[in-house]
Amino acid sequence: MGNASNRPGAVRRIGVVDDNEIMRDSLVATLEAAGHDVVGFASAEAILAAAGDRLDLLISDLKMPGMDGIALLQRLRQAGVETPVILMTAYGTIDTAVKAMRFGAYDYITKPFDGDKILTLVDRALAHGQLQRENEVLRAELSETLKPARLIGVSAACDEVTKRITLVANSQATVLIQGESGTGKEVIARTIHAASHRRDKPMLAVNCAALSKGLLESELFGHEAGSFTGADKLRRGRFELADGGTLLLDEISEMDLALQAKLLRVLQEKTFERVGSSISRSVDVRVIVTTNRDLKQWVAEGKFRADLYYRLNVVPILVPPLRHRPQDIEPLAEYFNQQVACREGRPPKRLTPAALEALRRYRWPGNVRELQNIIERANVLTEQGLIDDDLIAPWLDGAAAETDQGADGNLLAEMERNLILSTLKRFDGHRARTSSALGIGVRTLGLKLKRYREEGVLIEA
């Protein structure tokens, strides 16, 4: 038998079903010696009772008391389990092989067989199963809008977010990203995933605000065929498809309270049930959530579960609005110009100093997303190599006078305070350097610090 470290199928979880204890133990020992994680079952009923276990491959005897190997295969496929199955039989006829393949077996092997033969077949079946999973993930990701997994900016705020990403990337902790709409919360989530050890696994996203309670539950956890009107076939949910990777729950504040309880259980126990099923399934998913709401306030108002809030708020990242980090406008605009140029196969256009100044004066109620739209629109509507202020001025309208009021006011105030205090600490209390990094006047900084002290905020620097 070959060395486990050199085998492509090494360190995979394999189930062996055989009512013959000697045969079962012998095969388990052979597979374990090859480096696999193996669990044995004495009957088909026993493995069905352990349906929550995740297996990369199942090897089952064909002839067993009670449920035989083909009946087990049928039950698994009806339940939506696509794990490759190898059937073992001492009755190796063509009819048996054809019947096994018809019901979805990967292959069958005739007893008695030697160790090298079964290990070769196991390696092929594992490679086949891996390809199936990768194809399933790719199909799921076709429906996702992929955004660049990088942050663009030179401000102190961007530096602080980048540092936080570096600290949390390889943690298993849940991350809560808060900020106004359009600030780039999803880009930050994808950056965290790209910097983590899960980067080679799928990252899927669900917009909690776009789906009704029933549809969102099915989208997250999947459903069994016939579990509700319109559920004509089994469907796997995003938790199942993202196993081993990352799941982004966008606008988590819009999730129904009852569904929040189910999400809390998944986060705590790492198990879930499909809609219409009582079988618990294990899952290994890193969850990142985003919101443009003040979740602490929503908890106080009874709109969001307190226990879920504290479970989500393990690692918070506050994303300041674009108007609080004007230094980032120019590099972002240049990046979006480069994107358009690359897409259209031409040299990038440039913003004149007057156009840049107009962009810096604007308050950006739509944040980075609005800036991207304006840059793309300007690229389309001018044939010149330069984008001047007279072109973009009509789009920078009265919205620039908006203030930080309304539902997001408390969140924005908290985000601003945290940014100012962290920057002040970074520069050891030096107000001139802090105000320069933040893009505000020294007097403005002093007034804000005075207000924080009056509110009882401890200023470390």
110 and 173: one domain?
A: no
Q: Is cis: bond before 112, omega within 30 of 0?
A: yes
pLDDT for the residue 347: 86
Which one, of 63, 98, 103, 67, lies nearest residue 84 by Cα?
103
pLDDT for the residue 31: 93
Assess if residue 241 is contained within a domain. Answer: yes
pLDDT for the residue 397: 65
pLDDT for the residue 270: 92
Assess if residue 148 is contained within a domain. Answer: no
Cα gap 358→169, rounded to integer Å: 36
Q: 374: domain range?
A: 322-401
Give the mean pLDDT of 133-146.
Answer: 54
165 and 216: one domain?
A: yes
Cα gap 459→42, rounded to integer Å: 65
Assess if residue 145 is contained within a domain. Answer: no
Question: Is 149 a residue whose pLDDT tops 50?
Answer: no
pLDDT band for position 7 (50/70/90)? very low
pLDDT for the residue 9: 39
Q: Taking a C-beta distance cutoff of 8 angstroms, is the pair 260, 242 a contact?
A: no
12 and 115: one domain?
A: yes
18 and 66: one domain?
A: yes
Assess if residue 461 is contained within a domain. Answer: no
pLDDT for the residue 132: 74
Question: Is 312 a residue whose pLDDT tops 90?
Answer: yes
pLDDT for the residue 406: 42
315 and 331: one domain?
A: no
The residues facing 54 across adjacent strands are none
Assess if residue 76 is contained within a domain. Answer: yes
Q: Give tens-digit pLDDT for 345-360.
A: 888 899 999 999 999 9
325: helix, strand or coil:
coil
Assess if residue 361 is contained within a domain. Answer: yes
218: helix, strand or coil:
helix
Query: CB under 8 Å, gap of 24 or more: what pairs does 71-76 form?
Result: 71/44, 72/17, 72/44, 72/47, 72/48, 73/100, 73/103, 73/104, 73/105, 74/103, 75/44, 75/48
Give the mean pLDDT of 131-145.
Answer: 58
Per DSSP bridges, beta strands 271-272 and 281-282 are: antiparallel
- DSSP assigned state of 323: G
Which domain-ending residue is among 319, 344, 375?
A: 319
For all residues of the chain together, what is the average pLDDT? 84
Buried b or exposed e, range 113-140, using 16+ CB within 10 angstroms: eebeebbebbbbbbeebeeebeeebeeb
228 and 340: one domain?
A: no
pLDDT for the residue 85: 93
Assess if residue 170 is contained within a domain. Answer: yes
pLDDT for the residue 431: 84
220 and 358: one domain?
A: no
User: Within the chain, how many helices (H) and strands (E) appear?
Assistant: 19, 16
Question: Is 283 a residue whose pLDDT tops 80?
Answer: yes
Lowest mean pLDDT among 250-259, 264-273, 408-417: 408-417
337 and 202: one domain?
A: no
Helical H segments across 180-253, by residue range: 185-195, 213-221, 238-241
CATH number at residue 11: 3.40.50.2300
CATH number at residue 384: 1.10.8.60
416 and 438: one domain?
A: yes
Question: Is 344 a residue whose pLDDT tops 60?
Answer: yes
Q: Give tens-digit pLDDT for 195-233.
A: 999 988 999 999 998 888 878 999 999 988 888 777 778
Integer CA distances (angstroms), 36 to 50, 114, 188, in order:
19, 17, 36
61 and 173: one domain?
A: no
Question: How many domains does the chain contain in total?
Answer: 4
pLDDT for the residue 114: 86
pLDDT for the residue 193: 93
Q: CA triplet 277, 278, 282: central angle to 5 degrees?
A: 95
Which domain-ending residue is among 267, 289, 319?
A: 319
Assess if residue 149 is contained within a domain. Answer: no
352: phi then psi, degrees, rounded to nearest 5: -75, 160
pLDDT band for position 134 (50/70/90)? low
Return the higher-pLDDT residue of 450 and 327: 327
Which one, of 165, 168, 170, 160, lies nearest residue 150 by Cα?
165
pLDDT for the residue 92: 62
Neighbours of 403 (CB within 10 A): 8
pLDDT band for position 51 (50/70/90)? low
Burial of 432 (0-12, 13-18, 19+ CB in 10 A): exposed
Buried b or exposed e, range 33-59, using 16+ CB within 10 angstroms: ebbbebebbebbeebbeebeeebbbbb
CATH number at residue 418: 1.10.10
Give the mean pLDDT of 45-73.
Answer: 85
Give the mean pLDDT of 253-259.
Answer: 93
Q: Taking a C-beta distance cutoff of 8 angstroms, is the pair 377, 343 a contact?
A: no
Question: Is 3 a residue whose pLDDT tops 70?
Answer: no
Q: Give tens-digit pLDDT for 175-195.
A: 999 999 999 999 999 999 999
100 and 112: one domain?
A: yes
180 and 123: one domain?
A: no
pLDDT band for position 416 (50/70/90)? confident
Which domain-ending residue is among 401, 418, 445?
A: 401
pLDDT for the residue 174: 93
